[in-house]
Structure 1
Amino acid sequence: PLPDAIGRLLAFAFGPLLGIGFLGLFHLIATHRDGPALRFGVAFALMAGVAVTTMLVVQVGNNMFLESQLAAAESESVKEAARLAHRSVNQVQILIDVVWDIFICGAGICVGWAMLRHPGFGRVFGWSGIIASALLLYFNLDTFPMPPANAGSIDLGPLVAVWMLVVFARSLWLARQMKQAD
């Protein structure tokens, strides 16, 4: 296992790296077609990066605090009180997760729209991003304040994540093709 500080660094780097990835995607798409959808999408992605970093810091910090309380507890009743307090406080992290979903879905919808007429992405990438993001947002708002998975609904977060991974992989491939053409 990784040292705790390294594990936290990797987890907390996700949001900033997401923002950097979307800025790179902006430059790739904007060379063909720049517009408000692309710009709003990247702005939403940057806000999503801040939201997910906030969520992860709160989540990890709360869990670390609970562990220290449990280790210091002198009785089972004190441990149970700590667990109860943690469940209540953990709701904040769950609600910040909704903020992350709102902004990352906004990014997926807007950037997907910007991809529709891009020769390297087109309708398949564009519509799949729009639809997956819109559905994820719908299910999150439909089950609010509970996450869809906790409410017995469908969590499409992994689908949006796969779409983004494929988009970033495609972006790297397209950037390489453009560089070779120069």
Structure 2
Amino acid sequence: MKNEVRQWALFTSITGIISIGCYFLAILIPLKGFFWHLNSFSIGVLLGVSLFGLSKIFTQSIFSIVGGLLSLLGGIFMSYMLILQHGLSAYNNSGSSSNGIQAFNYIQLSTDIAFDFFIGIGLIFLCVQMIREGKIWLIVGLIGFVLQPMQIVFNLITFPINPHEKGLLDIGPFAALWLVMIYLLSGRVYLNKK
């Protein structure tokens, strides 16, 4: 069992750090073509599986199980949303008529909210488990317990438009930095469970 926890901790750290690296690469460096698609489409998959892995290093409870599953679904929605966004961008760049583009844009915006909602609820469950784990996880869990409900509430207030487009704080970069803390702590679990 101890070896399985170590494997999940290593998996969580690696996939999590890569997902956050892809996220910041996507918002900071304009990529094109194949590399743009590969980077963007990887973010949700890696985020979802890393948070599912996080649920496996904690004491198994309803909070860790539900949190892991909802976070995995959130990662799936994120990938779906990014694929829709890339499709919309390709359509816009093709010179085709714009009939239906506004409707399609609202579909992808709604999918973005679905991602935030599933990942936010999943992370709230994982935060409850972090708080129950105690020690440094308590502090990290409390930080997330503030960030994630803010993300959900802001999204519900401005639905279907993204909160930052309506002048509200974009929680995404703060959540990404919070996730880096989690992934580094997961690496610590891997190193300490020898």
The within-5 A match list for 1:90-105 is 90-105=105-120
**1:14 corresponding residue in structure 2:** 43
Q: Does 1:123 align with 2:151?
A: no
State the secondary structure of the residue aligned to 2:106: helix
The answer to whether the aligner puts 1:143 opposite 2:158 as a matched pair is: yes
Aligned to 1:77: none
Distance 1:98 1:3 in 2: 25
- Higher-Rg member (1/2): 1
TM-score (structure 1 length as normaliser):
0.82
Unaligned stretches of 5+ residues in structure 2: 1-29
Q: Percent of counterpart pairs with the same letter?
A: 27
CA offsets 1:28-65 (integer angstroms, 9 cap, x no match): 11xxx210011110011111011001100000011011
CA–CA distance in 2 between the matches of 1:111 and 1:11?
A: 25
Contact 1:52 1:100 in 2 (8 A): yes
User: Which residue number in structure 1 is paired with residue 81 of structure 2?
Assistant: 55
Give the direction of change, closer, same or farther, for the CA distance of 1:159–1:69 in structure 2 (3 Å limit): same
1:112-140 CA deviation, whole Å, 9 max, x = no partner?
10001324543211111111001111111
**Deviation beyond 4 Å, 4+ runs, structure 1:** none
Match of 2:173 among 151, 155, 158: 158
Equivalent residue number for residue 73 of structure 1: none
Deviations 1:2-30 (A, max 9, x none): 6612321221111221122123212211x
Corresponding residue for 1:175? 190
Q: Which runs of 5+ in 1 are unaligned?
A: 71-80
For the residue of structure 1 that corresponds to 2:149, the secondary structure is helix
Secondary structure of 1:166's aligned partner: helix
Higher RCO structure (Cα 8 Å, ≥6 apart)? 2
Is 1:40 equivalent to 2:66 in the alignment?
Answer: yes
User: In structure 2, the residue corresponding to 1:65 is in which secondary structure?
Assistant: helix
Is residue 2:33 matched to residue 1:4? yes
SS of the residue corresponding to residue 5 of structure 1 reads helix
Instruction: Please tell me whether the aligned partners of residues 120 and 152 of structure 2 are also in contact (alpha carbons under 8 angstroms).
Output: yes
Structure 1 CA distance, aligned partners of 2:159 and 2:31? 35
Q: Is the 8 A contact 1:109 1:131 kept in 2?
A: no
TM-score (norm 2): 0.77
Q: Counterpart amino acid of 1:103?
A: F
Match of 2:192, SS state, is helix
Aligned 8 A contact 1:16 1:50 in 2: yes
Match of 2:55 in 1: 26
Letter in 2 for 1:14: I
